[in-house]
């Protein structure tokens, strides 16, 4: 199996990592979890983070084949439509995004929102294989954080979204709609069944003050050191810990704008009759 080249971009405003992987032989590329800059105080968007990806793609002479989302994020807005406009590529996400769309269509009373994933170019299933030049990207369905979470495996690399964090931070929360701690435990076991040398590329790092951000770990390191789910932790122990911890966590700052946009494949709701786009804030609901 050929191995991809990988370049990652850390966004300090949202602690999010965007990954570009490409086949060195054909220069065919995929972008995973791109970030749209959004200022919640003013409601304005910008493209500093995404433009770094564009500059890299142009500098390396890459052709973007895929724009992949590990899930519908609650902590940043997706820049996939902007990158698709500038770079091309097909936008893919897990098929279970339809469940997520149904939930948030009701929460936001979003009558314009479809619940069949039509804004995405491809809905991905467990076991799907995506061609990327001479490389293959294997799709693993790893729900628990959300119903639609995916892990993308390319050679000895796995892009795990929010399922796992660095060992000193642990695992994803499971208290969002459709989340489930027992399901997450089983999904993580699938990831940790990969070969021990497999590099796990994370979507976020929330580092303590004692270290800089890091977003690559290994299966072996997670098995040995993850504070929530190292070897020997039972499903019951994990579920008890995860449910107790989730009750203490604050709502993400950008959850309300993020989910409205991300379940629409990064598109904003249509403008209203005055030509202005609005995002909703449901009061006392989330």
The dihedral over CA atoms of 128, 113, 70, 125, expressed in degrees to the nearest 10, equals -20
Confidence at residue 284, expressed as pLDDT on a 0 to 100 scale:
84
Taking only the tens place, the pLDDT of each residue in 93-103 is 999 999 999 99
Helices (H), the chain: 48-60, 80-87, 97-107, 181-192, 219-225, 235-246, 255-262
Confidence at residue 105, expressed as pLDDT on a 0 to 100 scale:
95
Is the pLDDT confidence value at 55 over 90? Answer: yes
Taking only the tens place, the pLDDT of each residue in 138-163 is 999 999 999 999 999 999 999 999 99
Q: 1 or 88: which carries more pLDDT confidence? A: 88
Domains contained in the chain, CATH given: 5-262 (3.60.15.10)
Confidence at residue 286, expressed as pLDDT on a 0 to 100 scale:
64
d(C-alpha 121, C-alpha 91), whole Å = 5
d(C-alpha 203, C-alpha 70), whole Å = 9
Confidence grade of residue 272 (pLDDT, cut at 50, 70, 90): very high
Confidence at residue 267, expressed as pLDDT on a 0 to 100 scale:
97
- Cα separations (Å) of 166 from 31, 88, 175, 245, 273? 21, 32, 20, 17, 46
Length of the chain: 286
Q: What is the largest CA-CA distance in the chain?
A: 59
Please give the model's pTM, rounded to 2 decimal places: 0.96
Say which residue the tokens 């107790």 belong to.
244
Sign of CA dihedral 144, 147, 149, 153: positive
Which range among 29-33, 199-203, 252-256 shows the weakest confidence by mean pLDDT? 252-256
Confidence at residue 209, expressed as pLDDT on a 0 to 100 scale:
87
d(C-alpha 82, C-alpha 50), whole Å = 8
φ and ψ at 92, to 5 degrees?
-125, 150
Confidence at residue 14, expressed as pLDDT on a 0 to 100 scale:
96
Confidence at residue 1, expressed as pLDDT on a 0 to 100 scale:
58
Q: Tell me what the pLDDT averaged over the chain comes to.
A: 96
Taking only the tens place, the pLDDT of each residue in 69-86 is 999 999 999 999 999 999
Number of H helices, E strands in the chain: 7, 15
> 214 exposed, middle or buried (CB, 10 Å; 0-12, 13-18, 19+)?
middle
């Amino acid at each position: 199996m050929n191995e991809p080249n990988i370049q990652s971009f850390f966004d300090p405003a949202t602690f999010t990592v965007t990954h570009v992987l490409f086949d060195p032989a054909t220069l065919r590329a995929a972008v995973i979890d791109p970030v749209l800059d959004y200022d919640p105080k003013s409601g304005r968007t910008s493209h500093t983070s995404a433009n770094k990806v564009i500059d890299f793609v142009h500098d390396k002479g890459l052709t973007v084949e895929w724009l992949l989302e590990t899930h519908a994020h609650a902590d940043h807005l997706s820049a996939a439509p902007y990158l698709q406009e500038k770079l091309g590529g097909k936008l893919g996400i897990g098929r279970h995004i339809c469940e997520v769309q149904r939930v948030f269509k009701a929460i936001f009373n979003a009558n314009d929102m479809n619940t069949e994933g039509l804004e995405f170019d491809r809905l991905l299933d467990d076991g799907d294989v995506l061609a990327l030049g001479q490389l293959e990207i294997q799709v693993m369905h790893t729900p628990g954080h959300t119903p639609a979470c995916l892990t993308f495996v390319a050679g000895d690399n796995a892009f795990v979204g929010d399922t796992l964090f660095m060992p000193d931070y642990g695992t994803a929360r499971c208290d969002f709609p459709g989340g489930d701690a027992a399901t997450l435990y089983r999904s993580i076991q699938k990831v940790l069944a990969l070969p021990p040398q497999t590099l796990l590329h994370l979507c976020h790092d929330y580092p303590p003050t004692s270290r800089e951000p890091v977003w690559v770990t290994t299966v072996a390191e997670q098995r040995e050191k993850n504070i929530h789910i190292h070897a020997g932790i039972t499903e019951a122990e994990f579920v008890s810990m995860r449910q107790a911890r989730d009750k203490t966590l604050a709502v993400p700052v950008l959850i309300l704008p993020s989910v409205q946009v991300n379940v629409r494949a990064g598109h904003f709701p249509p403008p209203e009759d005055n030509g202005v786009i609005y995002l909703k804030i449901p009061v006392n609901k989330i």
